[in-house]
Amino acid sequence: MRLFCVALALLLPVTSACSNAARTAARASAAAAAERFPASANDGGRVYATNCASCHQSDGRGVAGAFPPLAGSALVTGPPERLIALVKLGISGRLQVSGQTYDGTMPRWGQLISDEQIAAVVTYIRTSWHNRAGPVTLADVRAVSP
């Protein structure tokens, strides 16, 4: 038994170093997976409720003449890069949505929330209120730059 304890004591530092390396590799693998896999619409719902619903409303219908609708909008269900850019980089001025012109300002949310949160909220918007568009990934958001 004593020999076993000595052998175990000799191996513990190696085991600890190996487990640290394994943890580091696991974190890197998880980060790489987050880049490639769709963001969570559930997480996006929380981001939306906190940051977007006051203007675009909880049902995504917006406010006529002031804030464009997200429900049923071709802007939302079209190529995701446009919606990602609007959320991440903001916009000021005229914008045509669902046949109506809006003239206002959308904040640059990329300065206020993380790319992960942007991926989640864009996924939420593209899959809510009968919108039938695909989710986005962290890599999609990071590909959009000023």
Query: What CATH number does the domain containing 133 carry?
Result: 1.10.760.10
Are 82 and 17 part of one and the same domain? no
Q: What pLDDT score was predicted for residue 70?
A: 97
Do 122 and 73 reside in the same domain of the chain?
yes
Residues 8 and 54 in one domain: no
Domain of residue 9: give its range: 1-36
Per-residue confidence (pLDDT) for residue 3, from 0 to 100: 45
Separation CA 133–CA 80 (nearest Å): 9
Name the one residue in this structure whose structure tokens are 């490639």. 36
Q: What is the pTM of this model?
A: 0.75
Residues 23 and 3 in one domain: yes
Joined tokens for residue 95: 């914008």
What sign has the CA pseudo-torsion 98, 115, 109, 54? positive
User: How many structural domains does the chain have?
Assistant: 2
132 shares a domain with 67? yes
- pLDDT for res 39: 74
How far apart (Å, rounded) are the C-alpha atoms in residues 146 and 142? 11
User: Of the candidates 29, 32, 53, which has an alpha carbon nearest to the alpha carbon of residue 137?
Assistant: 32
- Whether 74 and 131 map to the same domain: the answer is yes
Domain shared by 29 and 49, yes or no: no
Distance between CA atoms of residues 138 and 34, nearest Å: 6
pLDDT at res. 63: 96
pLDDT at res. 104 = 92
Pair 18, 77 in one domain? no
Residues in the chain predicted with pLDDT less than 50, given as ranges, are 2-11
CA 137 to CA 123: how far, in whole Å?
8
